[in-house]
A and B are shown apart, each in its own frame.
Chain A
Amino acid sequence: MTTPTLDEVAQALSQMVADKMDIDVASIQADSSLQSLGLDSLDIFDLIFSAEDHFKIKVPNDQIKIETLHDVSVLVHKLTVEQNK
């Protein structure tokens, strides 16, 4: 699998959030806080789960320290890079 760029990860995650929360993907900004998008702690676990499936990565529990969608993108991108080394 080709390693996706940070932008590609961000786009895919935005779409996941839009699908999950029933909101318009255009309304999602990279620096939006997950809370402002309506995600609670369980929704965040579910988002991470979907990202793990999509990018074939495993997010360790101790790395889930995220507040914004950008934080998730950076984390997921870092793990995809490590995965594809």
Chain B
Amino acid sequence: MSNISSRCRVVITGLSVVSPLGNTIAELSKQVFGGISGIKLLDVPFADKLDCKIAAQASFDPADHFTKHTYGMLDRTSQMALHTSIEAVKHAGLEITDQLKPRMGIYLGTGMGGAHSVEDGYIRLYRDGLSRLKPFTVLMGMNNAAASAIALEHQLTGPNLTFSTACSSSSVAIGEASRLIRHGYADVMLAGGSEALLTFGTIKAWEALRTLAAQDESDLTTSCKPFSADRTGLVLGEGAAILVLESYEHAMARGATIYAEILGYGSASDSTHITQPSVNGQAATMQAAILDADLPADAIQYINAHGTGTVLNDVAESNAIKKVFGDHAYELSVSSTKSMHGHLMGAAGALEAIITTLAVYTDTLPPTINLKNPDPECDLDYVPNVAKTLPKLNYAMSNSFAFGGTGAALVLKKITQ
């Protein structure tokens, strides 16, 4: 069992996103609790060459936020992450003093890193037949570019790590950052993820895996249908999501608004198959988080599911929830907000952690939209189609699972100030 008495409490004091559901917390809240989808026709020049022409794109123009000199050295992934980090610090009302800098760091998740820059390089070499690459190619493409841009911007000299565990990357980043604070290695951490993988090559690679949703021609925005009998797969998304994590003492000393407490974090590896979800692995992940939170399982009232909308994941995750929670699985609520914001891969866990934080903070459960034809094998309460209020929503969990098998779950607790 974890030893609560010897550790710092870790709280969430700032939130920021660039997402398919808007680039402010207010816009995100309005859309995600309003059941509004951000999935639409992909606005890219190569759309006619795609089998699946839909995605959850973020509306983000770097020129709105940075000089050309700044954004010209950054991949889209880093541009979104950097902007999000600046807004997160503002949202937290945090002044990063010289005294704080060595006690503050950045943990970021990303699946594909600088996918645009890597692909641009290949285009120059292999398609255009050029013999050399732009000088910034390495610096823009490397997976730790976004985290490093953030550390530079805010002059953070504490820990700076990038986690790449595919779809669970940013949940791992948040969980590991919370442990740093919990055990006294940092007072404040920026933690989250960023992903910008809507490139021709990356989408083609996903098409080849046959996990992408078919377009629902009756209404493209409804193409992602987690837990529904007629679900056909996931919808790729892009964006960045960053939380400001802080020790409770540090937050209280500066009078910060606390949105929730990170009570527990668990991670486990399926180690069964590179893509197929494992009920045992998912259950072990959730159990590890509950154990870390030092809670009885039946304290959990809401789970923001990984809920990709693939045939395999949604049944496996439902069965894993039943395995962990027993009869309580039918009392708690589960929802997949990917039905609205798509799958942000390396940023998915962080976006969903922010949504779960907002759920706990406002006592409101975001819905799983497009759930009109339930799968008999998915028989839990998935908050179908419409958000619902749950007074005293004290404990919630956010799940992330991944190709490669790394699962991560976070347990959040309401803070009454």
* Residues of A in contact with B (beta carbons under 8 Å apart): 19-22, 38, 42-43, 45-46, 48-49, 52
Question: What residues of chain A lie closer than 8 Å to B3, measured between beta carbons?
Answer: none
Please list the 8 inter-chain residue pairs (A to B) with the smallest Cβ-Cβ separation, ordered nearest first.
A45-B135, A22-B67, A46-B135, A22-B68, A49-B135, A21-B69, A22-B69, A49-B134
| C-alpha gap A22/B134 in the complex (Å) | 19
Compute how far the CA of A69 lies from the CA of B159 in the bound complex, rounded to whole angstroms: 39
Q: Which of B68, B73, B135 has its CB near the most chain A CB atoms (within 10 A)?
A: B135
Q: With the chains together, A19 CA to B68 CA distance in Å?
A: 8
Q: Residue-by-residue, is B181-224 near A (CB-CB < 8 Å gives 1, otherwise 0)?
A: 00000000000000000000000000000000000000000000
Q: Is B72 an interface residue (CB 8 A)?
A: yes
Interface residue tally of chain B, by bracket? 10 to 19
Say yes or no: A20 contacts B139, CB within 8 Å.
no
Main secondary structure of the interface of A (DSSP, over half): helix
A20 pairs with B134, CB closer than 8 A: no
Asked if residues B135 and A20 are in contact (CB atoms below 8 Å), the reply is no
In whole Å, how far is A19's beta carbon from the nearest beta carbon of chain B? Answer: 7
State the CA gap A22–B62 with chains docked (Å). 14
Q: CB distance B136 to A20 under 8 Å?
A: no
How many Å from the CB of B149 to the closest CB on chain A?
Answer: 13
B-chain residues with CB within 8 Å of residue A43 when the two chains form the complex: 69
Residues in A whose Cβ lies below 8 Å from that of B134: 46, 49
**Do residues B68 and A42 form an inter-chain contact, with CB atoms below 8 A?**
no
8 A Cβ contacts from B29-74 to A: 67-69, 72-73
**Chain B residue with minimal CB distance to A41?**
B135
- Complex: chain B residue closest to A43, CB-CB: B69
CA–CA, A29 to B72, complex, Å?
24
Residues of A within 8 A of B67 (CB): 22
**Inter-chain contact B69/A20, CB cutoff 8 Å:** yes
Looking across the interface, which residue of chain A has its beta carbon closest to that of B72? A20
Also in contact, A38 and B69, with CB within 8 A (given A46-B134, A49-B134): yes
Question: Could you tell me which B residues sit within 8 Å of A by CB distance?
Answer: 67-69, 72-73, 132, 134-136, 139
B198 to chain A, nearest CB (A): 26
- Among A19, A22, A52, find the residue whose CB has the most chain B CB atoms closer than 10 A: A22
Whole-angstrom CA separation of A19 from B69 in the bound complex: 9
The answer for the CA separation of A43 and B67 in the assembled complex, in Å, is 14
CB neighbours (8 Å) of A46 from chain B are 134-136
Please give me the residue from chain A that is nearest to B68 by CB atom: A22
Q: How far is the CB of B79 from chain A (nearest CB, A)?
A: 15
Bound-complex Cα distance A32 to B136 (A) = 24
Contact B73 A42 (CB under 8 A): yes
Could you say which of A21, A22, A38, A42 contacts B136, with CB atoms under 8 Å apart? A42
Expressed in whole angstroms, the Cα–Cα distance for A46 and B138 within the complex equals: 13
Given contacts A42-B139, A46-B136, A49-B135, 14 further A-B contacts (CB under 8 A): A19-B68, A20-B68, A20-B69, A20-B72, A21-B69, A22-B67, A22-B69, A38-B69, A42-B73, A42-B136, A43-B69, A46-B134, A48-B135, A49-B132
Residue of B nearest to A48 (CB): B135
Q: Inside 8 A of A42's CB, which chain B residues have their CB?
A: 73, 135-136, 139
What's the least CB distance linking B369 to chain A, in Å? 42
Contact residues in A for B68 (Cβ distance below 8 Å): 19-20, 22
Taking CB atoms, residues of chain B closer than 8 Å to A21 are: 69
Residues in B with CB closer than 8 Å to A19 are 68
Q: Taking the nearest CB of chain B, how far is it from the CB of A46, in angstroms?
A: 5
Which residue of the partner chain B has the closest CB to A45? B135
A66–B136 CA distance with the chains assembled, in angstroms: 20
Q: How far apart sit A22 and B73, CA to CA, in the bound complex (Å)?
A: 13
Q: Which residue of B lies closest to A58 (CB)?
A: B132
